[in-house]
Amino acid sequence: MNVVKCFAALGLLLTLVACGSADRYAVTLPPVTETVRIAFRSVEVRDVSLPSYAAADEIHIRKNDGTLVSSTDTLWADAPERAVALEISESLSRLTGRAVASEPWPFDAYPDARLDLRFTELLATETGQFRATGQYFVAVSGGGRERSGLFDQSVSFDPKSGPAGIATARGQLIFQLAEFIATSGLK
C-alpha cells in the first residue's frame, strides 16, 4: 500500500512540475557581413544597466495603451543583464576582430577601453518594434579621450511571431547597437 502511495505522490509531483514549466527563449545574433575598425586593441564591456522590467526573466511587451505585459510562461533563456553584456561583447568582437570581453576582464593586461551601457528602454511593442534607448560611456586607459553618446535604435519584427520573434529581434537590435557603438564611440 505504501508503494502505491509513493508512486501516486511521485506522479502528482511530476504532473505539477510539468504544468509549471515555462518556455525559455534564447537570443541568436545575426551573422557579420562586414568589419569595423576601432581605435582600441581591447575593450571591456562593463556591467549593463537595464530598466527593472528588462532585467526581469519575463519577456515584456508594451501594449498600444502603454502598459507593459508579461507572462511567467515566457522567459528569457539567460539573465538579461548578463546576456545583453555578453551579446554586446560578442558582437563587438566579431565586428572588430579585437579582444572584447564582458566584465570581469579575463586577461592579465588591462583593456585599452571600458564600455559602460545604461539603457533607459529595451522593449518590444505589440505593433512589432523592438527598441533600445540609452547612453554609452567609453573610458580610455592611459588618459586618452573619453567619450559618451546617446543611442536610439529599433528593429521591426512580426508581432504574430510571438516570443521567438521577439528574441530574434533582440539579437538583431543588440547587434545593430554594437555596430553603432563601434562606429560612434570606439573610433
pLDDT at 3: 44
pLDDT band at 9 (very low <50, low <70, confident <90, very high): very low
The pLDDT tens digits of the residues spanning 34-74 come to 999 999 999 999 989 999 999 999 999 999 999 999 999 99
What are 13-28's pLDDT values in tens digits? Answer: 333 344 558 999 999 9
Find the mean pLDDT for residues 81-100.
98
**Which domains does the chain carry?**
24-184 (3.40.50.10610)
- What pLDDT is stored for residue 30 in this prediction? 97
What are the angstrom distances between the C-alpha of 66 and each of 62, 98, 125, 151? Answer: 6, 40, 9, 21
* Average per-residue pLDDT for the chain: 91
| Residue 104, preceding peptide bond in cis (omega within 30° of 0) | yes
Contacts of 53 (CB under 8 A, 6+ apart): 60, 68, 70, 123
Question: Looking at 1-10, 92-101, 113-122, which range is the least confident one?
Answer: 1-10
Beta strand 74-76 pairing with 23-25: parallel
Query: Per-residue pLDDT for 12 more than 50?
Result: no
Q: Is the pLDDT of residue 142 over 90?
A: no
pLDDT score of 144 more than 90? no
Predicted local confidence at residue 10, as pLDDT: 38
